[in-house]
Structure 1
Amino acid sequence: MTQLSVLICSDTLVVHKSGGFHRLVTSVTWHRWDIKTATQNFTTVLGQGSFGPVYKAAMPTGELVAVKMLASDSTQGEKEFQTEVLLLSRLHHRNLVNLVGFCIDNSQRMLVYEFMTNGNLATLLYNDGPRILSWEERVQIAYDVSHGIEYLHEGAAPPIIHRDLKSANILLDMSMRAKISDFGLSKEETFDGRKSGLKGTYGYMDPDYMSTNKFTKKSDIYSFGIILFELITAINPQQGLMDYINLAVIGEDSKADWEEIADKRLVGTSHPEEVKLLADIAYKCLHKIPRKRPSIADISRTIARIKHRPIKNDELPTAGRDVPRRVIRRIENLQVELLNMTSLKGHQPVKV
C-alpha cells in the first residue's frame, strides 16, 4: 500500500495506555499521502537506522520532510515508535528535531520529521569530501547540543534521559545549527536508576551503565563527552577514540596534551586554548564515577564561555585570512541568538 494517512501535528498529541493514538482538541490535519511518489519510488534514501530506512520526501503542502519507516526486521518496534511520538509531541525546543507527523496504517509505521539539510554530524566528521567542519562550527554544534540536553534534563517535566546520544543522532539544518534526534529509547526520569535491558550504541555507552544495567542523566553526560571528543579529534569512538584520549592524558606532570589528538585538518585555524577548555570539560564527562561528572548546566556554561571567549592577539590563527571570517561569524551568531530570544519571549513548552 502506497497511499497512507498521515497525521500532521501542529501542536500536541497523546498516546493512551492502550496504545491507540488520540488527538487533543488542537490544530491537527489528516492527509492522504502517496508515499511512493513522495519518495520517488523509495529512491531518496537519507540513511538507515535500527528503526528502518529514512527517506527524503515532499509533503502534500510542498514542504520537504524526512520520513522514517519501521522496517519489518527492525530491532525497534511498536514501543519505541510510541515513545518517540509521545515525547516529541510534547517536547519543544530549537535544539530538538521537530516531529511533523506520523502514520499508522495497518502494519505500517512511519515518523515524519522536519528535513535537516546538512544531514548528521557523523557523516560530516568522517566523510572524505572537501567539506570540513571549521572549529567555530564545531564549538557551535557543541553549544547547540548542550542546550538540547539541558532542556531534556532540566527543562522538560518530567525530565527526559535520551539514552542514545551519538554523532549520528545529531542533525544539522541549513544554517549548521544542531538538533538532537531519535528518541525511541528515551525514558522519563521517573525511571531514573531502574534496571533495564541494555540499550544504546557501543562506543557511547556509559561503562557504569553497562556494568550495573542502571541508566541515569549521568549516562547521557558520558555519551555527550564522547561526542565532544569526536568534534575535537574527528576520531570514531568505535575505531579507538578512547585509546587516543587515554594516551593524551599520560604525559609529563599529568597534563593532558589535547592539542596532540586534535583533528589535524584544523591546524592553523583552531585555538589551542579553546581546544584545551573543550577537551577538559569533555574528559570530566567521562569520569568513571557518574556522580563526579558535571551537570549539563555546568557543561553548557563552559561551552558558552568558550564560544564567546575574547581572542587575544597572540592567539590569532596562523591562517590570517580566516581571522575576519571568525570575528564576523561570532557577531552573526550573537545577532541570531538575540533574535531567537526575542521571538521565544513568552513561549512556554506545551505540556500533555
Structure 2
Amino acid sequence: MLQYTYSEVQSITNNFNVVLGKGGFGTVYHGRIGDTQAAVKMLSETSSQGEKEFQAEAILLMSVHHKNLTSFVGYCNEEKHKGIIYEYMANGNLEKLLLDTNSSILDWEKRLQIACDAAHGLEYLHHGCKPPIIHRDIKSTNILLNERYQAKLADFGLLLLSRAFPTEVATHISTAMAGTPGYLDPDFIGRYNIISDKPSNEKNDIYSFGVVLLEIITGQRAAIKYDNDECTHISEWVSLKLPEGNLANIVDPRILEDFDINSAWKAKEVAMACVTDTPSRRPTMNKVVMELNDCLVTERARKGTEPSNLTGLVSLNLEGVYDPNPR
C-alpha cells in the first residue's frame, strides 16, 4: 500500500481535470500513475463522512482482496486532503451501461456473467471474510466494469459490521443507516429509524442484490416512473407482469428475446426470492451464486460458447481472508 502526498495526487489527476463521478463521500477523478490508469476518490470537505470513516476504509481495503472487489492502490491523508486511489474501471458502472442508449446492448450471457461476478464479490464479503462484512449499499452504480466487462463491487470500505472494528470508529459507521432509496430493504426501514442502533445484516444486502438482478434482467431502473410521474418499485412491476406468463414482457426487450428461457426464468426466480418481504426466506449469497452459475452454464450451452471467464464456477471464499485479529 502506498501513501501519496496531496501534490502527488494533483499530479496523478492532472490537477483534478477529469471527473468520473460524484457520491456521498466526494468526487471521483480520473488519474494516471505512470502508464497505469487509476480512479481517485477525494473526501469532500462538506461530506458527512469524515476522518473516522476514511481511516476505517483505508484499514479495511489493506486487508480485503478479491477479484470481484475493486482493488486498492493507495491513499492520501494530508490535513484536510484525504483520498482513496483505486484501479480504474474502463466501462464505468452497471447502471450507466444498462440505461445508456448510445452504448452497445449487453446480451443475456454478459448480463449473467456480470450478475455472477457481483454475486461472488458479495459472497466473499459475507462468507469469505472473518468477521463477515456487510456492504450496506449494493446498487448498480456501485458495480463497476473493467475493459473485459468483469464486474467488481465498489464502495464497500465505509460500510462494515461494527464487530469488524470494535472501536468507536466502527460504532460511528455502523449506527448510521446506509443505503440508497429503491435498494433499501423495506423490512429494515420499517423496524429501525434512519439513525439506528441496529446494524445491517446480510439479508439487507441480499435484498439490494435482488433489486440489482432485476435491473439486469429487465433493463429498468429500481424505481420505474410512468407518464403521470408516479413510480412503482421494480419488484412490484415484475410481480404485476408475472401473471401474464410471458417472460418476454419482463426481460429487457432490447435483447430481442435472444436468451435461454430456462435460464431467464431461474434468474427471475432468484431475484424475486432475494426481494421477498420476509428476510428469513431470502437465500444466502452461497445459494445465489450457485443458482446464477447454473443460469450462465445453461445460456452458454444454448449458444455453444466456451466460458471466457470462469468467475462463479468455483467458490472463491478462501481468497484473501480478512481477519483484523490474527492469532
Q: TM-score range by the shorter chain?
A: 0.7 to 0.9
- Give the corresponding residue for 1:212: 191
Alignment of 1:87-102 (within 5 A): 87-102=60-75
Residues 1:80 and 2:53 aligned together: yes
Question: Match of 1:332, SS?
Answer: coil
Decide whether aligned partners of structure 1 residues 232 and 242 sit closer, same or farther in structure 2, where only a CA change above 3 A counts.
Answer: farther
Q: For 2:44 and 2:239, how far apart are their aligned partners in 1?
A: 43
1:174-232 Cα offsets, whole Å, 9 max, x none, are 111010010244122738xx983332100000001111124211000000000000001
Q: Bigger relative contact order, structure 1 or 2, given CA contacts below 8 A and separation 6+?
A: 2
Q: For 1:235 and 1:64, how far apart are their aligned partners in 2?
A: 31
Q: For 1:151 and 1:107, how far apart are their aligned partners in 2?
A: 33
- Offset of residue 141 of structure 1: 0.6
Letter in 2 for 1:224: F
- Offset of residue 32 of structure 1: 7.5
Question: Match of 1:308, SS?
Answer: helix
Q: For 1:345 and 1:208, how far apart are their aligned partners in 2?
A: 28
> Which residue, out of 118, 121, 133, partners 1:145?
118
C-alpha contact (below 8 Å) 1:161/1:189 kept by paired residues: no
C-alpha contact (below 8 Å) 1:172/1:178 kept by paired residues: yes
> Which residue, out of 10, 19, 23, partners 1:49?
23
Residues 1:333 and 2:309 aligned together: yes
- Give the corresponding residue for 1:12: none
Letter in 2 for 1:75: S
C-alpha contact (below 8 Å) 1:250/1:256 kept by paired residues: no
Q: For 1:184 and 1:29, how far apart are their aligned partners in 2?
A: 17
- TM-score with structure 1 length normalisation? 0.78
- Give the corresponding residue for 2:228: none
- Give the corresponding residue for 1:235: 220
Q: For 1:350 and 1:68, how far apart are their aligned partners in 2?
A: 23
- Offset of residue 40 of structure 1: 2.6
Q: For 2:178 and 2:277, how far apart are their aligned partners in 1?
A: 19
C-alpha contact (below 8 Å) 2:132/2:161 kept by paired residues: yes
- Give the corresponding residue for 1:266: 255
Decide whether aligned partners of structure 1 residues 337 and 301 sit closer, same or farther in structure 2, where only a CA change above 3 A counts.
Answer: closer
1:273-316 Cα offsets, whole Å, 9 max, x none, are 2221101110000111101101111110000111112677xxx6
Question: Match of 2:48, SS?
Answer: coil
C-alpha contact (below 8 Å) 1:84/1:184 kept by paired residues: yes
CA-based RMSD of the aligned residues comes to 2.9
- Give the corresponding residue for 1:36: 10
Q: For 2:74 and 2:160, how far apart are their aligned partners in 1?
A: 21
Residues 1:202 and 2:170 aligned together: no
Question: Match of 1:46, SS?
Answer: strand
C-alpha contact (below 8 Å) 1:164/1:185 kept by paired residues: no
Decide whether aligned partners of structure 1 residues 189 and 277 sit closer, same or farther in structure 2, where only a CA change above 3 A counts.
Answer: farther
Q: For 2:241 and 2:319, how far apart are their aligned partners in 1?
A: 49
User: Radius of gyration: which is bigger?
Assistant: 1
Q: Which runs of 5+ in 1 are unaligned?
A: 1-8, 10-27, 317-325
Residues 1:277 and 2:266 aligned together: yes
Letter in 2 for 1:39: T
Letter in 2 for 1:266: I
- Offset of residue 133 of structure 1: 1.4
Letter in 2 for 1:155: G
Q: Which runs of 5+ in 2 are unaligned?
A: 165-170, 193-197, 226-230
Q: For 2:15 and 2:158, how far apart are their aligned partners in 1?
A: 30
Letter in 2 for 1:196: T
C-alpha contact (below 8 Å) 1:248/1:257 kept by paired residues: no
C-alpha contact (below 8 Å) 1:163/1:185 kept by paired residues: no
C-alpha contact (below 8 Å) 2:117/2:312 kept by paired residues: no
Letter in 1 for 2:262: E
Letter in 2 for 1:91: V
